[in-house]
Structure 1
Amino acid sequence: MTGGERAPAAPLRTIRLELVPLDPEADAGPLHRAYGDEAVMRWWTRPACADAGETRRYLTECAGLPGARLWTVRSSDGPGRGDVLGLAGLLGAVDVPGLTWLLRRDAWGHGYAREAARAVADHALGPLGLDRVEAWVEAANHRSRAVAAAAGLGERARLGQRYPHREHPHEVIVLGRAREEEPTAVLGTVVELPVRDVAGTLRLVTAALGARTTFAMGDPPYLAEVGLSPWSGGPRFRLAAMDPEEPPSPVLLHLDAATRLDALHRAAADAGAPVSGPPVLRPWGRREFVITLEEGHELTLSGPG
């Protein structure tokens, strides 16, 4: 199932909590205790909401995005039974389903966020049948990193980000958890290959490398990015339309294929990519094979010998 598919939300229960599907109209008032608190919103993607009306509009917008599944977090026992402590769920309109959580300040320090986040992650990868979930957490936000770890999410990538209301950029850790084990196929960096046919080369390399298109500009495309990992911010390279009057300038691109070298070789051969042959053990202790593109670019894929 992809993150854009919609599934009916159902209540979730943990040992101490009940997660009830969000009703923006009814829940905006109590949730404003979190969304209107600058201390709670310190790490958020937007500033604190000015009033309950703004909180309601924001929650309505979030709940309406494709793939969004949001629950209010409520106490299921004690004198505060039924109180809305915060929100947890899955963000909508994102490439990889995004795990999110937010609690009002007086609910901090009791492990509620960990309990709620774990319940949502388990539900997403279990009954919902999603392949993976991820959370983007600032490197300096140690409390949220601990919540993500308790929900079973591990580090997948790092990237720089700056929210419109922030003065300075910040480092984000992409933490993820998959339903089945997913070793990273390629470790590398972003380079740009000039090619005559961006669309055709894009089709070839995505099939050969089991990759995905992260963006394509123009129709037909004159610039496209190939993502070599299912996670946001993973290894990638770009294809750019070259001047047809200029001779090609071949680029040598080395891709560390880790433990998936043989699988990638089979995929490249099945896609009809011009491969050099089976992986060969090199004197420096790496097994390698080469995909040579029309312009002479060489994509050398290597793995441990």
Structure 2
Amino acid sequence: MRAHDTTLRTARLTLTPLDPAADAGQLHRAYGDGEVMRWWTRPVCADVADTERHLASCAGRSGARLWTVRTADGEALGMAGLLGEVEVPGLTWLLRKDAWGRGYATEAATAVVGHALGDLGLDRVEAWVEAANHRSLAVAARAGLSERARIAQHYAHRDGPHEAVVLGRPREEEPRTTLGVIAELPVRDVAATLALLGAALGARTGFAIGEPPEFAEVALTPWSAGPRFRLAAVGRRQRVSPVRLHLDVATAAGPLHRRAVAAGARVDGEPTRQPWGRTEFVITLPEGHELTVSAPA
């Protein structure tokens, strides 16, 4: 099974179109290694046949272009390519452990990115890399990808969710005109709401204006930038239209739910798994605003 017939060459490597049946035997050295597969989207492949099935599944997806990464003498070191059935072409790579630390991953990834943005004429390429996977983050950076966003993921074989960095490289530089969207909630008591959100979610006050505060920013990270929203004071008799916010978190829902309950927040039920692959619960503020805490299921 081959999705394409293009061979790529670099100074030290030859990237040949992936053939699951022919290449699985050599590639199983990577796919059968627990250390290599530590960050992967699936557990270690049990045997060569399992590796072949996995490779065939990946290669068979619409739009996929996968290559076997080989040395000059034809020895297979791993796989690199573009994932199929994704909105933005996704860069992927995996090398066996004894090939690490020699620059092979960067060389292969750079070749794939160059082919994608050059010969294929794609507008952009992106890679999703776990935030703690510093080795792969460095490979993506050396291949010219930079951070574009962060998301929460939870693979079925992993104990809990993790934070992933979305890195991307466009064919032509694209200026970022929008860096974020900040919602504003009208509340009766800004100070009390800040205290509640601090206790329930670990939020901090980005800034507050007035004494007592009439306007404030709720920061959801300890850093100077990141997810946040704002609170604006309204009069006791002023009508408030409830707002619904979704907080996308990269941790398990259970501990956050228990923390919110212990803080005295109004929490509507236990965390519930949703059909779209998230586990969620709702914190309702006194004005009726709903904060849906959404974690990867």
TM-score, normalization: structure 2?
0.61
Distance 2:29 2:157 in 1: 20
Query: For residues 161 and 141 of structure 1, what CA distance do their matches in structure 2 show?
Result: 14
Q: Distance in 2 between matches of 1:190 and 1:63?
A: 40
Q: Deviations over 1:28-48 (max 9, x none)?
A: 110000001000000000001
Structure 1 letter corresponding to 2:125: V
In structure 2, the partner of 1:123 is: 115
2:17 and 2:66 in contact (8 A); partners too: yes
Aligned to 2:86: 94
The answer to whether structure 1 residue 148 and structure 2 residue 140 are counterparts is yes
Deviations 1:245-264 (A, max 9, x none): xxx9597x9xxxxxxxxxxx
> Contact 2:3/2:60 (CA < 8 Å) preserved in 1?
no
Residue identity opposite 2:13 in structure 1: L
Given the alignment, which residue of 21, 30, 36 partners 2:32?
36
2:171 maps to amino acid: R
Cα contact 1:7–1:128 (8 A) shared by 2: no
Tell whether the 8 Å contact from 1:98 to 1:134 is kept in structure 2 after alignment: yes
Deviations 1:10-63 (A, max 9, x none): 000000000000001100110000001000000000001000000000000000
Structure 2 distance, partners of 1:10, 1:190, is 45
Which position in structure 2 is the counterpart of 1:71?
67
- Secondary structure at 2:49 match in 1: helix
Superposition deviation, residue 118 in structure 1: 0.3
Alpha-carbon distance in 2 for matches of 1:69, 1:26: 16
1:155 aligned counterpart, secondary structure: strand
**1:159, distance to aligned residue in structure 2 (A):** 1.1
Question: For residues 50 and 7 of structure 1, do their structure 2 counterparts lie closer, same or farther at Cα, with a shift above 3 Å needed?
Answer: closer
Q: Check conservation: 2:152, 2:161, Cα contact below 8 A.
A: yes
1:52 aligned partner: 48
Aligned length: 192
Shift of 1:188: 2.5
Q: Secondary structure at the match of 2:137?
A: helix
Deviation per residue, 1:62-105 (Å, 9 max, x gap): 000011000000001xxxx1100000000011111000000011
> Could you say what secondary structure the match of 2:81 adopts?
strand
* Distance of 1:43 and 1:151 partners within structure 2: 19
| Whole-angstrom distance in 2 between the partners of 1:8 and 1:162 | 31
Quote the offset at 1:189 in angstroms. 4.0
Aligned mates of 1:124, 1:67 — CA distance in 2: 12
Please tell me whether the aligned partners of residues 155 and 175 of structure 1 are also in contact (alpha carbons under 8 angstroms): yes
Instruction: Summarize deviations over 1:259-278 as a string: whole Å, max 9, x none.
Output: xxxxxxxxxxxxxxxxxxxx
Q: For residues 126-181 of structure 1, what are the alpha-carbon distances to aligned partners after superposition, in whole Å with 9 as ceiling and x for unaligned?
A: 00000000000011111001100110000000111111111011110000000011
- Seen in structure 2, the aligned counterparts of structure 1 residues 58 and 181 have a Cα distance that, compared at 3 Å, is same
Which ranges in structure 2 are unaligned for 5 or more consecutive residues? 185-226, 228-239, 246-297
CA gap of 1:68–1:190, structure 2 versus 1, over 3 A, is: farther
Structure 1 portions without partners, runs of 5+: 1-5, 193-234, 236-247, 254-305
Structure 1 position 182, deviation (Å):
1.2
Query: Which residue of the other structure, out of 22, 35, 52, is the alignment partner of 1:26?
Result: 22
Please tell me the residue identity of whatever aligns with 2:35.
Answer: A
2:162 aligns with one of 160, 164, 170: 170
The match for 2:211 is none
Read off the aligned partner of 1:50 and give its amino acid letter. Answer: A
8 Å contact from structure 1 (residues 9, 69) kept in 2: no
1:125, distance to aligned residue in structure 2 (A): 0.2
Partners of 1:54 and 1:178 lie apart in 2 by 35
Indicate if the aligned counterparts of 1:19 and 1:116 stay in contact, CA closer than 8 A.
yes
Q: Which of 12, 19, 25 is 2:8 aligned to?
A: 12
